[in-house]
Amino acid sequence: MKIPTEEGALKNVKKLLKPLVEKRRRDRINQNLERLRILLLEILPNEKLRNPKVEKAEILESTVQFLKARSPSADHWREYQAGYQGCFQKVLHFIQANPDISLERRAVLVGSFSSFTSLCRPSPSLMVADLVETGPSSGLNPVSAATVKTPALTQSSAASSSSSSSRTTGQKSPDTAAQLPPPAPLSTSKTQESPEDSVLLNQNCLVWRPWS
């Protein structure tokens, strides 16, 4: 007959304890599923969620649906930004092409448009991508109109940055440029200005950028 040692007894205790620990863990899962069900019930018109015995899979499905519906798709964003930037570029072109407008007034007009930037505020990931491209001190840069990025390009670089951050553990914040992959090179986005206009803008105007 073997007398159980202290170590063996400890192992036995732990062995007995394990089911309890596992039960607590399952309870935590179930508690939070229940909380999720109640939260969803306040938001979604899903009658199944009224049943406290609703399947866990149903709760999770409803959650996924809710989250999907809540976040606007990237396509919608792209369309919105493209439209907004298209309008702005037309106005910009009009200002540039009008010989009756002095250089000072052109600068004032462009600056005035910048006060509307909050209407086209991009998602944080887009702003981060822009930060990477232009540097933190960019603000209103004296740049040519040719540097007005196409929405598609901006979106693609943002997408790459967000996908890379999603692979991290979540402890790194995406707000520093060093943690992001190098930005895609700027495409030669075609604007309708003449070379002279471009030079003009380089020298005299602050170009408003809707994402800054």
Q: Which residues bind DNA (CB under 7 A)?
A: 14-15, 18-23, 25-27, 30, 53, 55-57
Cα–Cα distances (Å) from 166 to 68, 149, 150, 163, 180, in that order, read 17, 25, 25, 5, 11
> CB-wise, 8 or 142, nearer to DNA?
8
Give least dist CB 85 to DNA, A: 43
Compute the distance between CA of residue 18 and CA of residue 31 in angstroms, rounded to an integer.
20
How near is the Cβ of 15 to DNA at its closest, in Å? 7
Task: Write out the two tokens for 124.
Answer: 């944080």
Q: Which is nearer to DNA, 17 or 199 (CB)?
A: 17
Residue 33 Cβ vs DNA, minimum distance, rounded to whole Å: 9
- Please give the single-letter amino acid code of residue 146: A
Residue 154, exposed/middle/buried by CB under 10 A (0-12, 13-18, 19+)? buried
Question: How far, in Å, CA of 175 to CA of 131, rounded?
Answer: 9
Pairwise CA distance, residues 72 & 148, whole Å: 24
The CB-of-46 to DNA minimum distance in angstroms stands at 15
Burial 179-190 (b: 16+ CB within 10 A, else e): ebeebeeeeebe
- Closer residue to DNA (CB): 55 or 175: 55
Q: Which is nearer to DNA, 3 or 57 (CB)?
A: 57
Smallest gap from residue 32 Cβ to DNA (A): 12
Decide whether 9 or 186 has the Cβ nearer to DNA. Answer: 9
**Least distance to DNA from the beta carbon of 41, Å?**
16
Neighbour-count burial for 67-84, b at 16+ CB within 10 Å, e otherwise: eeeeeeebeebeeebeeb
3-class secondary-structure state, position 25: helix
- Choice between 25 and 90, CB closer to DNA: 25
